[in-house]
Amino acid sequence: MNCFALNTQHKPLHLDNVQGVVALELAIGASLPDSFGAWPVSLADSWNAAAEQAIFDSCKTLGDMARAFLKWRAAELDRQLGAAEAPAIAEDAPYSSRRSIHFFDNEAEAIRYRDDHGTGGWIFVCDDKGEATLFPHQMTPSTILLMGWTSKSGGRFIGATGKILQQEDVA
């Protein structure tokens, strides 16, 4: 079994599974139930098939894993539907939705994206790795913390006006 494959003998948030489950939740944009039996049919199987094909081996972040899974699944869908050639998905293709959560390798990329696309919204920057997440403009730092989309190691929020809030100051 590949080290990124989900072990369905344990619960989804078991230590063996937590990394894959969180990356999968990022990919689908939703939280998954606490039991594999309550998951959509074949979701864990699809993730494991991708893991067995080593698509996660070069991923450095959970966001990389989420993107890799979506690309793999799109190519699989094209193959299953008999498409002659799977369309290429550019790594840096902009996503224009103002309701989406976007992941970046660093604070500067997130700020540049927010400015270039006019999305507004708070950016959370992780203290440990410096990775940044841009949240939709409708979400407040309190809401973001309640959703659990921030690093447990701490971090800071950067508002569209440049205001900075430390994670521990938001309650």
**57 and 111 co-located in one domain:** no
- Is 97 contained in some domain? no
**39 and 107 co-located in one domain:** no
- pTM value is 0.46
**85 and 107 co-located in one domain:** no
**127 and 80 co-located in one domain:** no
**80 and 111 co-located in one domain:** no
**136 and 159 co-located in one domain:** yes
User: What's the distance, CA 46 to chain centroid?
Assistant: 17
Domain of residue 165 covers 102-169
Closest of 28, 29, 36, 72 to residue 52, by C-alpha? 72
pLDDT of residue 91: 43
**30 and 66 co-located in one domain:** yes
pLDDT digit string, tens, across residues 43-93:
888 888 888 888 888 888 888 888 889 888 888 877 777 644 444 444 444
Domain count, the chain: 2
Last residue of a domain, one of 37, 66, 92: 92
- pLDDT at residue 104 is higher than 50: yes
Say what the alpha-carbon torsion angle 54, 58, 64, 68 is, to the nearest 10 degrees.
-30
- Is 131 contained in some domain? yes
Q: Name, in order, each residue with C-beta under 8 angstroms of 97's C-beta and a sequence gap of 6 or more.
A: none
pLDDT band, very low/low/confident/very high, at 96 (cuts 50, 70, 90): very low
Residue with tokens 């430390």: 166
Q: What's the CA gap between 126 and 56, in Å, rounded?
A: 22
pLDDT digit string, tens, across residues 118-159:
888 899 998 888 889 988 888 888 878 777 767 677 889 998
Cβ-contact 165, 142 below 8 angstroms: no
- Is 18 contained in some domain? yes
HEC string for 66-113: HHHHHHHHHHHHHHHHCCCCCCCCCCCCCCCCCCCCEEECCHHHHHHH
pLDDT band, very low/low/confident/very high, at 14 (cuts 50, 70, 90): confident
User: From residue 136, how far is each of 47, 91, 97, 122, 148 by CA, in Å?
Assistant: 27, 21, 9, 7, 15
**81 and 152 co-located in one domain:** no
**130 and 83 co-located in one domain:** no
**42 and 66 co-located in one domain:** yes
Name the strands in the sheet holding 102-104, side by side, starting at the edge strand that comes first in the sequence: 102-104, 132-134, 123-126, 155-158, 164-166
Q: Which residues of 114-131 are buried (b: 16+ CB within 10 A; e: fewer)?
A: beeeebebbbbbbeeeeb
Run of H or E residues at 30 = none
